[in-house]
Structure formats: C-alpha cells, structure tokens
Structure 1
Amino acid sequence: MSPAAPNPPMFSRVGEIVWTGGHLPRLPDGTVPATFAEQVTLVLAKVARTLESAGSGVDRLVKVNAYLSDIDNLPEFNDIYYGFLAGHPLPPRTSVEVTRFRDASMLEIEVVAHSN
C-alpha cells in the first residue's frame, strides 16, 4: 500500500499575485451538499476564506475559472456568483463543463487575485 499523497496548499503567491487551487464543495467531514446552489455557495465562501488567508480578497480577483458538471446549471451559477460579487469589480471568467468529478461535486472553482 502506498502512502497517502500530501494535500497541496490551497494557494501560492508570486509577488503580489495569488493563485488558488481548485475549490470543491466538500464540508469538513468530507460530505458534499446535495443541491447545486448549496455547492456553489460553499465553494465561493471557501474561495473567499482562502483569498483572505493569502492577504487578498474577492474585491481583488483578476481571473476566475469555473468547472461545472452540467453547463445547463450556468444560469443558476450566474445568479449566485453575481450576487456573491455584488459591489465588487467583475473579473474575467471562464466557465466550462467537465466530464465528472470524483464524488458528488457539481463544480470546482480556481481563481487568480492581486494581493495589494
């Protein structure tokens, strides 16, 4: 049996730029919320916490990549996403459908942000 791989860091910084890894909608106990809306809300909150821990914030986003298990969920994603970023500059975003995730996740988000 091979040893478990270490968890990679959730972000890296080069100068004033922060790159995050992909954020999945897993709760601390490893479960995944049942609805797409709950998953989007959880992932966006996790992204915000990661950016804050990196000395940045959602107001400093410069690029967002959203991977959805079903592109037909894009209108619902947009409703939640734009509400989450209300009052902040909107960064460029890529939204694509992916074939599958390894669990019940319906999306994954990674971002790039400025730290100052």
Structure 2
Amino acid sequence: MELDRKEMGRRISKRRKVLGIKQAVLAEKIGVNGNHLSSVETGKVTPSLELFVKICDELGVTPDYLLEGAMHSNNVPQSIVDHLRLCSEEDVDLAAEIVKLLADRNESNLG
C-alpha cells in the first residue's frame, strides 16, 4: 500500500472542519505550528508517527480512517459512529438489532 499524503491530508482537514476545530487550534493541541499542520493537510509533508497519533487522538478517528478512509477495520464510516454517539443507549441497541437483521438477510442471500 502506498501512502496518499494528499488524500490523508484531505481527511484530516475534513474531519477537523466537521468537528468545528480551527486549524490553528488543532495545531496548538498537537504541538506544531499552523504552517506545519497546513503542509500536512495539503499533503506536502508526511507527519511523524508521533504527530500522526496525536492527530488521530484529537480528531477522534482511527489511523485506518486517515490512511484509507475506513473508520474501523470493518469499514464503518465515521459519520455512522458520530451519529450513534449522539443516541441513547436504547437507540444504540435498536440500531444494533437492525444491523444484525441486515447481516442475517445478506448472509442468507449468500447461501
């Protein structure tokens, strides 16, 4: 797998904007200057591993999301995870039941 720095930078920028975090604020939180973060977001610079982990932590995403666009190893989009975080425990349980029904339906279609 080859690292697509521009795409990774776009994901960082997009997620930061979704969370309503200004570039300068994120830069301060992760301990870099704004120009460096801008270079990461435009794909001109590859962040160090330490910086990459800090970015993931501050943006609440997995490394998979920034590297490949997959929020989790099972490819659950970040938007679904974000929406579930806003739900009550009862609603999350209901969503889990719906997902199980969908999985069962797809599994039976394969067999």
- TM-score band, normalised by shorter chain: under 0.3
Larger Rg: 2
TM-score computed with the length of structure 1 as normaliser:
0.25
Q: Which has the higher helix share?
A: 2
TM-score, normalised with respect to structure 2? 0.26
The structure carrying a bigger strand percent of its residues is: 1
